[in-house]
Amino acid sequence: MIIFTKIIISNKMSQEIDKNILKTGTTTLGLVCKDGIVLAADKRMSYGGEGGVSLVAGKHAQKVVPINDKLVVTTAGVVSDIQLIVKLIRAELRLKEIKSKEESSTAEAANLLASLVYQNIRKFSPFLGLAHFLTAGRDSLGFHLYEVGADGSISKIEDFVASGSGTVLVYGLLESEYKKNLTVEEGIKLAVKSINSSMKRDPGTGEGLDVYTITEKEIKHVLEQEVETMFVNKGK
């Protein structure tokens, strides 16, 4: 009976994740390029109801977040969970660096983040903890992109990945326009085009976008643009 109860709870949690992750009002994406990684996200913060997005809660959200000088994540999910996990991963990586006197590889950092997400969704709480991250970084082995799912799973991405309510809209474009050996400059243009396409149809995506690049030289915030600015520039 105990085993059966555990299976029911596990299935219910899985159903809740499936039901809520696509309701997460955002579009985030990551592209693997031959000379780096491109991460992008929109800037709308929304409250969701049973029918999806019910209120635009903010228009200047920063959903692409540097963790340190070699690691960046995109964020989707419940804001309080995201903020706590970001604080924890920063602290844990810094503590490990102090103790071992070595920097963590991207794989180590991504696995640590996955462990924190796993603990978050399985904590005892009346509310489902929900946080999803795309994690990109560089180390001695090169550039890497990982998806850390809301259930604590981790997947290494070899080409592209997207998350949030605009995922379906973005994947169609990425499937047709992404190519191997894409340069970072080409990746930036594709990322902007993808987020823009999502903003046109997805109510949870909007207000503008942020784009970060991870290259051998640096992590750089290459673009921050609001919808009004984009429209003005388009009209000129």
Gap between the Cα atoms of 198 and 168, Å rounded? 9
Alpha-helical (H) ranges within 28-162 are 79-100, 106-121
Q: In 75-226, which ranges are continuous DSSP H helix?
A: 79-100, 106-121, 167-177, 184-201
Select which of 26, 75, 167, 205 is catalytic: 26
Q: Kindly list the distances between the CA atom of residue 229 and the CA atoms of 10, 167, 224, 225, in Å, as whole numbers in the listed order.
A: 46, 24, 10, 7
Q: How far apart are alpha carbons 53 and 57 in whole angstroms?
A: 10
Distance CA 31, CA 183 (A): 10
CA distance 17 to 163: 13
**Active site (annotated) includes residue 213:** no
Strand partners for 52 = 49
Instruction: Identify the three-state secondary structure at position 36.
Output: strand
> Which residues are CB-neighbours of 174 under 8 A, at least 6 positions away?
29, 31, 160, 162, 190, 194
- Tell me which residues are annotated as active site: 26
